[in-house]
């Protein structure tokens, strides 16, 4: 299927980079882009990631190979068909790959802080519920800010709940626009926020919708609250075979 094909193309690109067959590598990168686009991963992210990989093929083949493997990990996780839920630890592993690819492009302009309570790593969450918030912070918060900025990902133990926040010190959003986004009134704008909010409400109830704190020029903070105990769902019951294993502490790039 698509997952296997994308993984095979990514691994083949990595092999070509190792062998120094640069023209073949570029052709395979183009093929990988088409496959990922068809799978509806963000075209913006695909374009930037593959451009970043291509930029290292001549100057740093080892770096190019590392980024290809990170891209393969990210796409395998995103394409997987092993259920609608994952764990905080596994989602952080995918975010790790995502941010490594973005940092290849941003360099020191993208800084990341991670603060995660070990108690929440096994908490079950809807699949791809944190990563879109991080991508929103990069695309709409930091990319437009001269000099870049910092993303802070926090997961705290709040007794019966895990509270997860993604904060950036970027350009911010007009609060009225943010409210319209969550209400579905701005098609194509901040679609990741809207989709995650809708899924959280559907799974856990309206009281678990996203909380967005933002203003123009003041950055954006997005908060979600997830029950730690969910009848019928547990870390042991969630299939987390996609990609490489998560680090025990959910560690991300510094």
> Residue 250 has what DSSP assignment?
-
Q: Would you list the domain boundaries of the chain?
A: 2-79, 102-228
Distance (Å, whole) CA 157 – CA 66: 34
Residue 17 DSSP symbol: H
Task: Tell me the CATH number of domain 102-228, given options 1.10.3720.10, 3.30.750.200, 3.90.1150.10, 3.30.565.10.
Answer: 3.30.565.10
Q: How far apart are CA 57 and CA 55, in angstroms?
A: 6
pLDDT-based confidence at residue 181 (cuts at 50, 70, 90): confident
**Two tokens at 114?**
């991670």
> What does residue 164 show for φ and ψ, rounded to 5 degrees?
-115, 130
Residue 85: strand, helix, or coil = strand
Interval 125-162: pLDDT, tens: 988 899 989 999 998 899 889 888 999 999 999 999 99
**Alpha-carbon gap, residue 103 to 74, rounded angstroms:** 14
Contact 86, 125 (CB under 8 A): yes
- Tell me the β-bridge partners of 211: 223
The whole-number pLDDT of residue 74 equals 85
By 3-state DSSP, what share of the chain in percent is helix, strand and coil, each rounded to 5?
A: 55, 20, 30
Q: Pick from 147, 79, 154, 64: which is nearest to 116 by CA?
A: 154
pLDDT at 239: 52
Neighbours of 139 (CB within 10 A): 18
Q: Which range, 1-15, 43-57, 91-105, 227-241, is most confident?
A: 91-105
Higher pLDDT, 238 or 37: 238
pLDDT tens, position by position, 94-136: 999 999 999 998 988 999 999 999 999 999 998 889 998 999 9
């Amino acid at each position: 299927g698509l997952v296997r094909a994308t993984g095979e193309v990514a691994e083949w690109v990595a092999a070509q980079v190792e062998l120094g067959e640069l023209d073949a590598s570029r052709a395979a990168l183009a093929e990988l882009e088409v496959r990922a686009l068809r799978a509806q991963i963000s075209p913006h992210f695909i374009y930037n990631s593959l451009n970043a990989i291509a930029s290292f093929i001549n100057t740093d083949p080892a770096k190019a190979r590392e980024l290809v493997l990170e891209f393969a990990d990210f796409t395998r996780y995103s394409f997987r068909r092993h259920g609608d839920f994952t764990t905080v630890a596994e989602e952080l592993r995918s975010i790790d790959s995502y941010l490594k690819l973005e940092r290849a492009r941003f360099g020191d302009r993208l800084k990341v802080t991670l603060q995660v309570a070990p108690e929440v790593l096994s908490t079950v969450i809807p699949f791809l519920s944190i990563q879109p918030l991080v991508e929103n912070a990069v695309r709409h918060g930091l990319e437009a800010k001269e000099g870049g900025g910092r993303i802070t990902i926090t997961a705290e133990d709040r007794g019966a709940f895990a509270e997860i926040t993604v904060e950036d010190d970027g350009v911010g959003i007009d609060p009225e626009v943010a409210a319209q986004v969550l209400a579905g009134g701005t098609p194509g704008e901040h679609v990741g926020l809207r989709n995650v909010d809708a899924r959280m409400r559907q799974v856990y109830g309206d009281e678990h919708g996203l909380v967005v704190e933002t203003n123009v020029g003041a950055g954006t903070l997005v908060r979600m609250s997830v029950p730690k105990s969910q009848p019928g769902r547990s870390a042991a019951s969630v299939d987390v075979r996609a990609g490489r294993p998560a680090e025990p502490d959910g560690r991300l790039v510094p």
